[in-house]
Amino acid sequence: MQRSTGLLLVTVLGLTASACGSGEPATPNASGGAKAVTITVACQPAKSAPKERQAWDDDVAAFMKAHPGVTVKSTDQQPCFDPKTFGPKLAGGQMETAFVVPVTNYNDVISKGQALDITQHTGVIKTWNDLRADHKELVTKDGKVYGVPNVHYSVGLVYNRALFTKAGLDPDTPPKTWTEVREAAKKIAALGQGHVGFGEYSGGNTGGWHFTQSIYGRGGSILAPDGKKAAFNSPEGKAVLQNLHDMRWVDNSMGTKLLVGWESLMVAMGSGKVGMMLGAPDVVTDVVNKFKGNVADYGITGFPEAKASLSGGESFMINPKATPEEAKAALEWIDFRFNTVGKGRFDFARGKAIGNPVGVPDNAVFGDSATGQAIQADRVKNASLPVANYDSYVQAAGTIPPKAEPLHAQELYAILDVPMSGVLSRKDAGIDQLLADAETKANSMLAAKG
């Protein structure tokens, strides 16, 4: 998903959680004359995040009170989008009325008729006209609208300021080059007692995802311009793997445990023993809210030596089986919880009161519109963190060109997990062979996709 400079920043709160299951709705409010309707909605925080879950449940109750006859049932799958279950769940017609789709899957979901045409209902989103036009274009096909843009991000370097200080590093001048990252990582690892200077993924599609972040930063690509051939077996791709190999086996700054799924590195970061990782600002929010990190410890800066930054995001889409009444109710919920200044995820006063890290920047889907400006002002007003901790990220985000995730991203990420795992698990891993094998698999997959 593309991003413009000068982007205003907001904090995305309570979008994901750390368990699977279903949430029981509060007692529905029926009203004489109102047609009863029940909708299912994705992304309820799990029981392991009780304050965020309570805030969600409070929003459900408030929403149902304001919309008599509507019953809301929540699911608490974490993350909201799981590449392993998304396809089967969607194909099996088991998706919620309102569900989350990452930008990499927009075209597939829309082209297969798995999202409802909501063109006639966009007026339900009262801030629709303030959503950035380039984001809305991504969920529009042949003049018809199929989604409500919800999240947009670009990648930076998340780091533990407390560990920087402990290792004799200046947390106010975080690394700007990979050489500086390596030197800082070695000093943090030298603290001993399980400290890891730099954390990285090796599987669960997250390894390939972070490979993509790294190769983009070095100026490389995953696919050729026409999208029909792999382009990652390149000097930039080799530099990514060589750097990780050397940090792991020469510097001994990456620890010895292979981190596979998304949650694994987040848990490690939350433990306070990991110095740095690649990620968007919402990493800080999740580390604090869900993985018990100290809210004051984390900062984020620009991607080292970045020639481009991976840019992505997600939208809410509506199940095509939804009736007009269900679709309208689901969009009203999305409008209330995710698109209203001072409400739901943008209730920064509540977020601050329950201990959320208000003030962490996240690239807004509202840009510099009136809604975007109001959100930013409210975020700053209720900030619980010193925004100076994120200044270098904000400055970099305005100058580093964004680059969207590749087509067939999840399939490519799974393929690229293998070379990532290879260099992090084997000292004698052959980088050229790992990339050549991955290239062959990727080209076969791309050929099959047509």
Distance of CA 313 to the CA centre of its chain: 7
Size (the chain), residues: 450
**Terminal C-alpha separation, the chain:** 23
Joined tokens for residue 87? 């396809």
The interaxial angle of helices 235-249 and 431-449, nearest 10 deg, is 130
d(CA 233, CA 432): 8
- Structurally, at CATH architecture level, domain 37-154+312-387 sits in 3-Layer(aba) Sandwich (3.40)
Per-residue pLDDT tens digits for 366-423: 888 999 889 988 988 999 887 888 888 888 876 888 788 898 988 999 999 999 999 9
Work out the average pLDDT over 430-450: 96
Question: Are 175 and 304 within 8 A, CB to CB?
Answer: yes
| Annotated domain spans of the chain | 37-154+312-387, 156-311+397-448
* Beta bridge pairs of residue 261: none
Structure confidence by residue, pLDDT tens digits, 127-146: 999 998 888 998 999 999 99
Cβ-based burial of 33 (10 A; exposed 0-12, middle 13-18, buried ≥19)? exposed
Contact 76, 21 (CB under 8 A): yes
- Classified as helix, coil or strand, 68 is coil
Peptide bond into 79 cis (omega under 30): yes
pLDDT score of 14: 34
**0.95 exceeded by pTM:** no
Average pLDDT score, the chain: 88
- CATH for the 156-311+397-448 domain, from 1.10.3720.10, 3.50.50.60, 3.30.360.10, 3.40.190.10: 3.40.190.10
CA dihedral over 173, 177, 179, 182, signed as positive or negative: positive
Q: Where are the alpha helices (DSSP H) in 92-234?
A: 106-111, 133-138, 161-166, 178-189, 206-217
Domains 37-154+312-387 and 156-311+397-448 share a fold: yes
Collapse the DSSP code of 422 into the 3-class scheme (helix H, G, I; strand E, B; otherwise coil) and give the result. Answer: helix
**CA pair distance 278, 222, nearest whole angstrom:** 18
> pLDDT per residue over 172-227, tens digit each?
999 999 999 999 999 999 999 899 999 999 999 999 999 999 999 999 999 999 99
Q: What is the mean pLDDT of residues 222-244?
A: 97
At 104, give phi and psi (nearest 5°).
-65, -20
Quick count: other Cβ atoms within 10 Å of Cβ 192?
A: 6
CA distances from 131 to 125, 146, 235, 435 (A): 10, 14, 39, 40
Task: Count CA within 13 A, CB hemisphere, residue 13.
Answer: 34
pLDDT digits 0-9 by tens, 245-261: 999 999 999 999 988 88
Cβ–Cβ contacts within 10 Å for residue 199, how many?
24
What are 120's two structure tokens? 């006639």
